[in-house]
Amino acid sequence: MPNLLLVATGGTIAGSAAESTDTSRYRAGALSADTLLAALPEAAALGHISAEQVFALDSKDMQPQHWLTLATLLRDRIAKPEIDGIVITHGTDTLEETAFFLHLTLPRDKPVVLTAAMRPATARSADGPMNLLQAFACAGMPAAARLGPLVVAGDRIWRARDCTKRHTHAPDALGGIDAGPVGIALGTQIRLDASSENAAPGFTAALPDSLPRVDVLLGYAGAPADQIEASLAHGAAGLVLALAGHGSVPETWLPAIAAATARGIPVVRASRVASGGVMPQGNFDDAEHGTLACGRLTPWQARVTLMLALAGGADHAAQQAALLNA
């Protein structure tokens, strides 16, 4: 059987409430990794499982420094020959950001699988136990490594870069927007799409000690341009604009954008629309205005990519390439 490592970060999957019918007022991350495993004796049939408790967070409180700590630990554990696969428990609120960071920074040498839950472990119909079992089953498959980090929840398996939270409270909240799952689970039987591949990570160098601040600013009818100036005044090293449509820039924002790019601050056009992305020179002259386009990334993914690109000293052209190739 494979040797699997559970890396726990908290989240609803480790949540605890006073009543078994309470699925909203609970404490996330209350239960330890060992407690989760003790309640899941069926996992012993899927591998020799050890556990590490890295954080005990509600994922709304996840910070970029946590990403760096987690990725550093995972790189070290992936390199250990005695570990065959890794499962990470995480809260659903910001899972897509952590998952995308790991998509960009982890080698594809061994399976890495994230899982989560929408109902706490104490709930009468908790979804976490089966999600965790399916994540162990997936992490025990060597073929899963070539897909890069994966997310397993609700009988479906997605690439980390394709998974987002689509509903605020439904059990099947996690899913894809522009891409479907790359695998399915039935009980602990896993089937992966044999034709699916995942490109190598875009950031393979040593991880930085910290990540620069990059803010996401929302565009809407009447949105003031001074939010750009406020972000820069508070130390933002880059900006991602979550704009209407295909990254449509309000005319009133042009002077503030020009001032930012003149200072060498990268400004990325993204969209608040769930699907489609923003292509360079599409609906706006990026070359003339010195802006970047997010490609197929969400605003949150564009932020993560730009943070890593800036930390690595990427210039304007390299930043745009990183966004398009992430």
pLDDT in tens, 159-183: 999 998 989 988 888 988 888 899 9
What residues contact residue 144 under an 8 Å CB cut-off, 6+ apart?
A: 85, 111, 113, 138, 150, 192
Residues in the chain: 326
Tell me how far apart the alpha carbons of residues 316 and 102 are, in angstroms, rounded to a whole number. Answer: 23
Specify the CATH architecture of the domain 214-325: 3-Layer(aba) Sandwich (3.40)
Q: Which helix (H) or strand (E) holds 3?
A: strand 3-10
Record the pTM: 0.95
Same fold, 3-192 and 214-325: yes
Model confidence band, residue 296 (pLDDT cutoffs 50, 70, 90): very high
Residue 194 has pLDDT above 80, yes or no: no
pLDDT in tens, 48-99: 999 999 999 999 999 999 999 999 999 999 999 999 999 999 999 999 999 9
CA-wise closest residue to 29 among 2, 3, 54, 4: 54
Q: Where are the domains of the chain?
A: 3-192, 214-325
Q: Which value, to the nearest 10 degrees, does the dihedral of the CA atoms of residues 323, 312, 10, 41 take? A: 90
CA 131 to mean position of chain CA atoms: 17
C-alpha pair distances (Å), 286 with each of 27, 219, 246, 248, 275 = 45, 17, 13, 11, 21
Average pLDDT, the chain: 94
Model confidence band, residue 157 (pLDDT cutoffs 50, 70, 90): very high
pLDDT in tens, 207-248: 999 999 999 999 999 999 999 999 999 999 999 999 999 999
> Both tokens of residue 245?
């449509």
pLDDT of residue 164: 86
CATH superfamily of 3-192: L-asparaginase, N-terminal domain (3.40.50.1170)
Active site amino acids: 12, 92
